[in-house]
Amino acid sequence: MKHPFKRRIYTLAQAILISLTATTIANAATANTPLEYASITELGTLMASNELTAVALVEHLTQRIADLDKQGPALHAVIELNPQVLDIAKALDEERAAGQTRGALHGIPVLLKDNFDTADSLQTSAGSLAMVGQPAAADAFVVKQLRDAGAIVLGKTNMSEWAYVRDMDLPHGWSGRGGQGKNPHLASESTCGSSSGSASAVAAGYAPISLGTETNGSITCPASANGVVGVKPTLGLLSRSGIVPITRLQDTPGTLSRTVRDAALTLNLMQGIDAADSATSGAPTGIDYTALLSNDALQGKRIGYPVAYVGANGKPLTPGVEFLMAMAAMQEQGATIVPVTIRFPYSADYIPSLMGGMKHELPEYFASRPDLPIQSLQALIDFNKTNPGTEGHGQSMLEAINDMDMTHDQARASLATISEKFKGAIDEQLQEHNLDAMVAEADGYSQFAAAVAGYPAITVPSGMDDDGLPTSVFFFGKAWSEPQLFAMAYSYEQASAELRHPAFK
């Protein structure tokens, strides 16, 4: 995939102290699933039956990270661990022992991409050494939602520095602060996208869930490349407050997980209207994204698949073997698969408009963190010149953004126009063919189109190719159609069972 936007025991239970060693816990997960690969539901069941505590889980996962991230295969997926994590886990275990359980993520470790603000000792640096210094004073809105629900912030994940807008020649998964991230399936291959560490970490069994962000391809691509489930929601469904921006005109947080249900459970807790992010004002709230999950959710559904994109950058598509098998599996589940041709109204103004958004929004983010060592884009550029690092990576994108004279209103108007064209191109096919959704493989074009339209998408593993790399299918549809997309993705996931754990080659 070379497309630029792609390729873990301590508890009090009924006043009884139960002490279990990490080895005992590692054998106590489930009959078929090692603890590091257990789902949120499986982990919650073990905790509810007093077979597992959050402390033991955290200990197991942090040891796994120590074994695999900086030694062994040295994935460099985690940029920093939370030094308070055991104290937090112990407090949550005590809550559970007292009969107080906050929900599905109570005591569940979560990893965060290094662009989510956290009100603790963890840095929020977007992978940049220039940003290391004073931690954020408050949690990002969605991080607070998860903490309030009992999730444990285990640490921060590596990412493509500045969400891959430092320089377009930057290696995917590299940051000055975290080094070069690796794909756990095949270390010589790309982790892809800027949420690279979040995807790699979940695939490697560091945590059942991680948060990422996407502007265009930064969740969908690493989900595909690392063989995990990636959810990019409708633009505005989740708050962007407290997240280092490219631009809110297209940025959204999302999830990386090993199962569709885990993603849906997490999205349940992240939703909510944020007064500091006007885009959330029209979003649906109180939705249970697990409500429609069933093995037969594909029955009777009409799903389009792109056989071609026509337009400036469009081309005919040749489905891969794994995608043909995936469509056959959907048909066996009762879906009707409909070939469609989608207009691809790419505009040369697209990238400049994103850059224009960042030019004005990054200073606003700096202003929200006045104790940072840098306070302007120019200061960032100057830091990188003085501290080039042994790799000598450039910063042409940052420099170009700094030199732009585009106003924020101009960037907003340009992106709105382009987005409407992509919405129209997708809506046209959904309406003409009476489709419930569309599905594609990791062709780059479908992912790009859904991102520009601001439409929701779910990436699900579909197997492995001949090179030993994960393949995926990509469900996407109209705005706010997440419940239906989750249902279809879940039905396919259960029928295909194509999640593969990495071999660390």
Catalytic residue numbers read: 113, 194, 218
d(CA 111, CA 122): 12
DSSP 171: P
Please give the structure tokens belonging to residue 321: 């073997």
Please give the structure tokens belonging to residue 282: 């029209």
DSSP 136: P
- Nearest to 267, CA basis, from 44, 482, 457: 482
- Nearest to 474, CA basis, from 494, 486, 487, 457: 457
**Burial call 332-341: b when 16+ CB within 10 Å, e when fewer:** ebebbebebe
**Burial call 92-104: b when 16+ CB within 10 Å, e when fewer:** bbebbbeeeebeb
Cβ(118)–Cβ(153) below 8 Å: yes
Which amino acid makes up residue 250?
Q
Which amino acid makes up residue 258?
R
d(CA 489, CA 505): 29
Greatest Cα-to-Cα distance within the chain, rounded to the nearest angstrom: 67
Cβ(232)–Cβ(451) below 8 Å: yes
Inter-axis angle of helices 350-368 and 377-386, nearest 10: 90
d(CA 97, CA 95): 5
d(CA 400, CA 397): 5
- Nearest to 235, CA basis, from 246, 248, 224: 248
d(CA 266, CA 316): 36
Helix, strand or coil for residue 467? coil
DSSP 83: T
Please give the structure tokens belonging to residue 272: 């909510």
How far, rounded to the nearest angstrom, does the alpha carbon of residue 197 sit from its chain's CA centroid? 9
Q: Which residue in this structure is represented by tokens 């999950």?
A: 293
DSSP 443: -
- Nearest to 167, CA basis, from 393, 406, 404: 393
